[in-house]
Every structure is written in structure tokens, then in C-alpha cells.
Structure 1
Amino acid sequence: MRQQIALIMALPSESKGLFEAAGIEVHYSGIGKVNAAFKAFDVIQKTGCHTLLNLGTAGSSHFDAHALVEVAQFVQRDMDVSPLGFDVGVTPMDTDHPAEIQPESMFSHLPKGICGTGDSFETGLPKVPCNLVDMEGYAIAKVCKKLGVRFVSVKYITDGANDTAHLDWEENLLFGAKKLLELYQTVK
């Protein structure tokens, strides 16, 4: 049976069990781009979903902590082949897909941001222009783009992507899970 929307998050700590307690199925990818790409592909193949909705956490020195931000564009903040003459963020020889991927918008009332995805916990300024950072979004967006599946992503800002980010992230997970659940319940 083909479902309309499938929900993907990186970690159970981002949902704090609130989604499951509300009877909502969550697919957890694990941390990083490889895990996220594999899980996104798996979820799309198993559910046949029309839309893959990514809810999760992000750091930002631009948006206020505790804000919900809908991602308008994903870039790779850790793709750096600049010694060979490529711009930072560009995957060489990947002519089918641009360096920037624009998810669709589902929440017109939320502020929009550019999310830099990378396989590191960012605590400084990324090498590519972006105003929030995560570790999975670009990979999920690219899988959806390749498979022709609608993709929407909303991030809860847990921290300032600075030297206290790891502490702020942990401290704000429950607040984020509550806000993300409230948002999700407006979709159904």
C-alpha cells in the first residue's frame, strides 16, 4: 500500500518517543550522509511514499534557538575538491544534480533557511554560504531528487553552531521534539 507521507528523523533522541506515543511511525536514519541516504532510499522503496518529510535538529548562528525553520535549500558544507579547481560544495562530475537542492515548501508560515549538510558537528563558520547546519539533510534531498519523490524538511534550532553547541543540543532536544510533533500534527 502506497502511503502519502513518510517521516524520517536522524535519531530517536530527536523525537524523545513523543511521536511513537502519538502513534506516528518514524524512520530513523542514524547520523551522517551515508546512513541518511541509505535509509531514505529504503523508506521510499518500502513505503512507496509520495512525500518524504524530514524533521530534526540543526545548529544556527543566524536563527534564534528554539525556532522552527523550513529548509528552502540544501548544500554540502563538507564537499571540498577545491584543489582540483571545483567550488566548495560541488560534487565533481555529478552533472545530473546541482550542488544546491531545493526541497518543496509545505509550511508557508515558517522562516526559510539554507542548510549546510556535512559529516561533522559544526562549531564554526561553514565553507559554503548557509544559515543552518545539519548532518543528514542534503543526502536525503538528493535521494528524493533522484527518485522523483517530494521532499520537505523542517529543522528545530537547538544551538548556535558554536563551542557550546554540543551542550545546547542535548539540553534542547525535548523542547524540539514537542515543537516538531505539534507541527507534524498540522499535516495530518
Structure 2
Amino acid sequence: MRNVTKTTVYPPVLVVSATRAEAAHVPAGTRLLVTGLGKVTAAMALTGALTRAAHGVEPPVEWVVNIGTAGALHDHHSGLFVPSRVTEHDLDADVLATLGYPTVATWDIPDGDGSVLATGDRFISDSVQRAELARIADLVDMEGAALARVAAEFGVPLRLVKVVSDTADESAMDWPAQVDAAAHRLGRWLRGWAGG
């Protein structure tokens, strides 16, 4: 009788989430990377994964899909968004350019829904900060732009998928209680996207 070795098949899509809670309902067999919160940890984790894939240590990655929650910067925003643009709101790119150091701080994401995501290391839970960010974006998170920077550097297409979990004001401190409902919605989106 022949020995049959079971081979693990890795999908070419790498789903990236800041927390396990946000990825709690991804479909079985999903290739998942949990980065931790914030721009630095997200960038480090994705850089490591794409470097290993580029050097053949891990299977190739043809797409990066970042799933997660986001704060709504406008009262009429709710539900699931697939942003078309992401920007680092806490990087002073204009000042750096004036000083002679042009710096990319905004990335366009093809086939999005027209919304703009602002990314920064601050957890926005203040009405004044929310109003300032609402002038430049629809949503706010803590990882999207960092992942866009890394994906662009490696030449890997990126999709951002965000579910509104709070209104980025004082009520945002209730975020942990909203994550599971958002995770269910993200899981449903992934199942539909993979099937389409």
C-alpha cells in the first residue's frame, strides 16, 4: 500500500487583521496574519510575511486583504466599507516635503467604494479630534495606511475592508463590545469575495 502525504495548500490571499477578535469569523482555510495594534506592529508583521513569501520560505502572496473595524467620522456612516484611499493622518508629509524630504502618506486603492480611511496610532475617542479628521476622511483606523505602504513596496495588491464599530468620539470606548458583530460581517464579506 502506498503512503500518501497530505499537502497543505496555502491560498494566494493573505488576510491581515490587527486582532484575533476582528478575525474570529474568517472562513476555514483562510491564510491569516494577526499583526497587533498600531502602524509599527502592522508594518513589521506584514513586511516579515511578504519577505518570507518573496524568498520562498512561505508560499507566494498574490493579494493582501486587511479586515478590521474602524471609527466613523461622519454620523451617516455605518456598515461595511471598502476604502478607495488611505492616508496617514499623523504623519506631517507636507512639513517634511517643505524641509526637503518628500514623503508618501496617501495611497489609492483600486476598486474601492469611494470612501477614505485615515490611519494613525491614536485611538480616536474625542469629538474634537473626530471633527478634525472628518475634513479629510470618512473612517479612521490604526493599521490600514501602514499595510498599504508595505504592500506597495512589495508590489502586492491590497484591499481594505472595514466595518464601522464606533463613532470615533467619547462613545468609542465601547469598541470591545462591538468587535464580534463586526467580525461576523467581515467573515461574511470574505466568504462572498472568495466566491466571487
Quick check: TM above 0.5? Answer: yes
Cα drift, residue 166 of structure 1:
1.6
Per-residue Cα deviation, 1:94-133 (whole angstroms, up to 9, x for no partner)? 45xx33101232x6xxx43111100110123245611110
- The one-letter code sitting in structure 1 at the alignment partner of 2:178 is N
Sort the Cα spacing of 1:19 and 1:31 in 2 relative to 1 into closer, same or farther, 3 A: same
Partner of 1:55: 67
Gaps of 5+ in 1: none
Q: Pick one of 68, 81, 86 that aligns with 1:74.
A: 86
Cα distance between partner residues in 2 of 1:42 and 1:91: 31
Asked whether the 8 Å contact 2:13–2:31 carries over to 1, the reply is: no
Asked whether the 8 Å contact 2:96–2:102 carries over to 1, the reply is: no
Cα distance between partner residues in 1 of 2:15 and 2:65: 5
Partner of 2:57: none
Partner of 2:43: 37
Please, what is the CA RMSD of the aligned residues?
A: 2.6
Instruction: Name which one, 1 or 2, has greater alpha-carbon Rg.
Output: 2
Asked whether the 8 Å contact 1:65–1:159 carries over to 2, the reply is: no
Partner of 1:115: 117
Partner of 2:17: 9
Gaps of 5+ in 2: 1-8, 54-59
Is 1:155 aligned to 2:162, yes or no? yes
> How many residues are paired up?
175
Partner of 2:107: 101
Sort the Cα spacing of 1:63 and 1:141 in 2 relative to 1 into closer, same or farther, 3 A: farther
- The one-letter code sitting in structure 1 at the alignment partner of 2:191 is Q
User: Which ranges of 4 or more aligned residues in structure 1 deviate by more than 6 Å?
Assistant: none
